[in-house]
Structure 1
Amino acid sequence: MWLTPAMQDLLLDAANETALMVLAAAGIAIAAGLPLALLLQATAPDGIARHAAVNRVLGVVVNAIRSVPFIILMVAIVPFTRAVAGSSIGTTAAIVPLAIAATAFIVRLFETALRDVDRGLVEAAQAMGATRLQIVTHVLVPEAAPGLVAAITVTLVSLVGYSAMAGAVGGGGLGDLGIRFGYQRFMPEVMAIVVVLLVLVVQGMQTLGDALVRRISRK
């Protein structure tokens, strides 16, 4: 049986919920992750503001969050999610664990991109009397831009998968729709459409991200 108008509306609503979860969580992760990655890089043994204790503590926290499977993380921080979002169920509530998981994920990707910047450029800037802030804003971030964009792309793709998992515990979105109707109500056509939509979204994000990386690299 083909999809009814009501089911089409449900699919559209679920797609919008997935987009909200992914984009909101990604925005938070980028906003929090870049400063944290810069701090990790700056306080590293070869950084511009070496500080072993800060580097070690921050690294341990990031690694600890990354090591927890997303489903477990969602359940473990339910009290925090409820305090922030007012509920532990729904699209808005799902953004909280998604943002935390994505932040820990993107910090390491950003750090890798920043570490790949030619050390000679940093030393040249220091020799010319540049401040730490100037080194960050005029050397590290611009030179690492292709890697940063690639990191954002990978994070967005990962968040699509995380958002589908969030649907398993009441997070809403395409994952929730696929489970409730495609699996529990034995509607394979719904499951097939959900899978196709997720694949198209991921492919679109990856293609756009790769194109942006190529364009920035040429510049």
Structure 2
Amino acid sequence: MKGFIIYFLLSSITGNPLMAFLGVIIIYSLIDRFYLGFLPDFTRIFRRNRQMKNSLKELQVNPQNASATFSIGILYFEKKKYEEALKYLEHPKLKDNETANFYYYMGMTLMKLKRSDEGKDYIMKALEVNPRIGYGLPYIALIDHEMEKYAPDRHIINDLEEKIEKFANTENLYKLGRLYKKLGNKEKAKNLFSKAMVEYSYCPKGIRRIHRKWAILSRVYKIV
């Protein structure tokens, strides 16, 4: 209804329905950009594409550039092109990379490609090197892996959930809630969505925009 009112006002002012429609899109895009955060960050997409282009150029000049190879693997992961990401992460020039970042991206990529056992091994290595890598997301991936088993080990799951408590931000609680909801544990999911909303209420104003999306989604999925 508000969108229609804005459209009507702009149409009256401009006398051009197309310009009014574009104006509504721009207004809602700005609201999302500074308040909600649901739409993609197009400036970030542009920066990511430019970074990939530069890294590919570096590889053409120096095919042995391990840093550029790793960077491209991460960029493909962020684009959710996991098969392409794996091609670069598995490159021989990265075989001696023992950093937490390498283990993390390799593990998460393998998880996304349903190679869960291999992915788990890399994620465990990443957490050994740096327990804070991924700020809680690796633990959610490990819980998902454990729950997919025929007979999940509840002790392992409880231990992983305790570790997530150290990173109990709105996003992590929402994603863990979605995981339980997917598995049919609606009560557990609702509890986590409630915790996510409470966690959001404690967020300082300066970072609320970052977490607002997850709080809104938590409220929606708690109802549906």
TM over 0.5: no
- TM-score by structure 1 length? 0.26
- Structure scoring higher RCO (CA < 8 A, sep ≥ 6) equals 1
With normalisation by structure 2, the TM-score equals 0.26
